[in-house]
Structure 1
């Protein structure tokens, strides 16, 4: 199973970095990162996040990519090769993208619907209070858009690694970055005057975003911010879900992994920071801090109101924003389906095209079911973290909040204490290049990351919440 078929590799370092960055830069960067920054003390969250990216995130990303290239296998068999007793870890890792894929195209469909609204001159409708709820509770529209998004994802995976994933990433990622920069700069130029005469500007919003807010900071509050930043890293870097192991298995032996990982970190963190600079100043200028609400409502409720308040320029900005969001979601969706297809190809020794067609059909059905989770299949389930969720929220909780911290915890123990950090370090230095953050990696993988993951796992189960007030 070590042999890769022709075309099942990235052409080189640039292709790999853009594809990996495309996987990392997803919808979580566009609405979850800005929301957390606004909620968790602005610049305080940014500082903590940056430190964690360079230590904790770097450790998990390095592990996944190095495991993939060294074993030349996707997750389900990569962990088995490291230690046969840890085959279960590969199986658990495989099921993370299996669950995520059930709903990711649904979110992509939501974003596509908003893009269509802005490009067809219906922008005013998107700003209505009930637009988002009316759309997702419809038994038809969200299904159609979700299926369309899933179909496009399947076509790209069908075309393979270099011809599909790399080709689309090489085109989309530079365009995505330019769009984010343009909107971020525009957000800083905004000035808005309320009916009562209060004037707010985008530059004031930038200060809210960048300035560390220590108001009401307690040890428990600080720990919560730390945990929020840690959980965001899973979204931001696509770690502990088998994706980077799969992508790592497509990297050629002569590629400098250390340099590639640095570039992925920089690209992803830059996009996340720019997303905050793009969204927070604009929302602040028009709504103050009230518009920075949690979850999908930031992207699908608050921002359309901001675009509407901008007048004519808002139609253009909204169109560009949601087109950009489509690109970000598509590259992530591609990576999730690729991780599934790669594992199934390995399990059944099957052809890519056949597996892709079968899994595409399976997830077209799953997408339709989850899309109907707010209408025909509506349920309300109390989750262990205290929140109430529908079908989409349930899948998201199991995969992102429960399984990923658990997988990270076990994998850090496996690498740090059983196979040893040298197993990873040897691969990082296999091209003759120096692994510059080797000692950071050793300390993190052996001592810090397992403890951090254990704490995050306790938080996801709701146990930690009993002690953090």
Structure 2
């Protein structure tokens, strides 16, 4: 394709666009993005609370009929249109650019608070050596460590024990991203992901030999077949898949845009999807083996000590296990080290979505774009979250950006691309050009029918619940500003960013791709 096809000469997004050195590096980076904190502390409890072993059935259905098809959709958009999320969607159709900026805005919000959880995990890896939490892990976490304020508001009383590791987390992430796609992101995942896998395998092996481990695994995998009749269980399975595969974040669109032209997209997608799910099941085994030990030590049923997933599991329940388990120090270092590495690979991918978008929009060099994005992100993160009021802000923001950000943009994206722009035939054809496993009509049905129905059901249910129940007994003004307000602001910001003119270096209006898109639309008719 000659450079004369592009206004302003050869754009950064074709010949000069960075690429992964090999397909294997892309797969490692994509797995690193998908495997995050939620795999370790969210999946085990979602499975436990939704039918145990029986949950595997709706989980696999969700993976095969929604998660993987949407993953292929992201790959197709990024790989065909060779740009960050906003640029790729704009090249698909100018009216679709806002979808990309919506995803960028979501990544911005997530990155701001996600980094502080990595900082907590890094400190707890050190605390595991001395079991610094003593006899009261809950009191230590909320009191001595985070120094959580009794007032639900925004304050700027900084906690040094969180502030310092948070600064180091951001320094590491920005150094990796400044180095570029292959030299930075690729190399980091080649190092971090194997380390994560080795550490977690050692953790699982150690947990399996703890007294009571079998009781924990029995509680996790004992099937409750009656749960399959509950639509909420199926919704939970689809929700878990959407969150864990990194679809609708702009991540896979961006990562796929760095792939070489002749790449097996579907083969890569299946490897990423099943690797992610395999790690989730591995996490369930390790976590519930440890929880079974905790129940055994307390002389109580697993259900009484299981509690709930998330921050409480990682920073309150697990320290209790570490204090009582043989070789507890090793168990703690492995567990919290796994959280650090899983968090870093995911945070790198999240911030890359923003950097790539700014780089494309303004025609900036990699280092300039990294600093333009990374420094404000780090500053906002450091200003808001290593404080005595940071925990409540994190809780509300995380809940609303996931349920009313990611779910909403995923729903709008599949509806617009299926029924508004009728882009699925064009995108499916592109995937089939180089892929070993071809996409047939069934893929369009899963993306255009199954995914919107499930996403709409989950979104409406969550909307009704939040309106009727509020959120965790927090003040209405706090939830209104940092929950509902933030979710609404994502859309407004996306619209405003889509109005900013593109740099000529980005070749946002792509004559060749526009012609192909128009041909695809005609074929769809």
TM over 0.5: yes
Out of 295, 300, 306, which is 2:321 matched to? 306
Once the two structures are superposed, what CA deviation does each residue of 1:442-463 show, in whole Å capped at 9, x if it has no partner?
2211211111111122133235
Change (3 A) 1:354 1:420: closer
Determine the structure 2 residue equivalent to 1:386.
none
Change (3 A) 1:256 1:127: farther
Q: Following the alignment from structure 1 to structure 2, what is the Cα–Cα distance between the partners of residues 89 and 426?
A: 22
TM-superposed deviation, 1:70: 0.4
The DSSP-based 3-state class of the residue aligned with 1:390 is helix
Change (3 A) 1:397 1:128: closer
RMSD of equivalent CA atoms: 2.2
Change (3 A) 1:359 1:2: closer
Q: Following the alignment from structure 1 to structure 2, what is the Cα–Cα distance between the partners of residues 419 and 394?
A: 36
Is this contact kept in 1: 2:13–2:83, CA < 8 A?
no
User: In the alignment, is residue 102 of structure 1 matched against residue 112 of structure 2?
Assistant: yes
Determine the structure 2 residue equivalent to 1:326.
340
Determine the structure 1 residue equivalent to 2:381.
367
Q: Following the alignment from structure 2 to structure 1, what is the Cα–Cα distance between the partners of residues 236 and 102?
A: 23
Determine the structure 1 residue equivalent to 2:91.
81
Determine the structure 1 residue equivalent to 2:425.
422
TM-superposed deviation, 1:339: 0.5
User: TM-score scaled to structure 1, two decimals?
Assistant: 0.88
Q: Following the alignment from structure 1 to structure 2, what is the Cα–Cα distance between the partners of residues 361 and 125?
A: 37
Q: Following the alignment from structure 2 to structure 1, what is the Cα–Cα distance between the partners of residues 28 and 164?
A: 30
State the number of aligned residues: 440
Is this contact kept in 2: 1:150–1:367, CA < 8 A?
no
The DSSP-based 3-state class of the residue aligned with 1:290 is helix
Change (3 A) 1:127 1:171: farther
Q: Following the alignment from structure 1 to structure 2, what is the Cα–Cα distance between the partners of residues 432 and 130?
A: 53
Unaligned runs of 5+ in 2: 1-10, 148-157, 296-301, 470-525
Deviates more, 1:412-421 or 1:331-340: 412-421
Change (3 A) 1:94 1:185: same
User: In the alignment, is residue 256 of structure 1 matched against residue 261 of structure 2?
Assistant: no
Out of 172, 191, 194, which is 1:171 matched to? 191
TM-superposed deviation, 1:7: 7.2
Out of 223, 231, 247, which is 1:212 matched to? 223
TM-superposed deviation, 1:285: 2.3
User: In the alignment, is residue 431 of structure 1 matched against residue 434 of structure 2?
Assistant: yes
Change (3 A) 1:432 1:330: closer
Unaligned runs of 5+ in 1: 192-200, 379-388
Q: Following the alignment from structure 2 to structure 1, what is the Cα–Cα distance between the partners of residues 36 and 243?
A: 8
Once the two structures are superposed, what CA deviation does each residue of 1:351-394 show, in whole Å capped at 9, x if it has no partner?
11012123221122111133245x1x46xxxxxxxxxx822123
Q: Following the alignment from structure 1 to structure 2, what is the Cα–Cα distance between the partners of residues 432 and 157?
A: 29
TM-superposed deviation, 1:395: 2.5
User: TM-score scaled to structure 2, two decimals?
Assistant: 0.79
The DSSP-based 3-state class of the residue aligned with 2:121 is helix
TM-superposed deviation, 1:214: 4.1
Out of 166, 176, 184, which is 1:146 matched to? 166
Report matched runs for 1:12-51 at 5 Å: 12-51=22-61
TM-superposed deviation, 1:124: 5.4
TM-superposed deviation, 1:6: 5.1
Determine the structure 2 residue equivalent to 1:194.
none
Q: Following the alignment from structure 2 to structure 1, what is the Cα–Cα distance between the partners of residues 140 and 464?
A: 33
Determine the structure 2 residue equivalent to 1:198.
none
Change (3 A) 1:438 1:136: farther
TM-superposed deviation, 1:421: 2.0
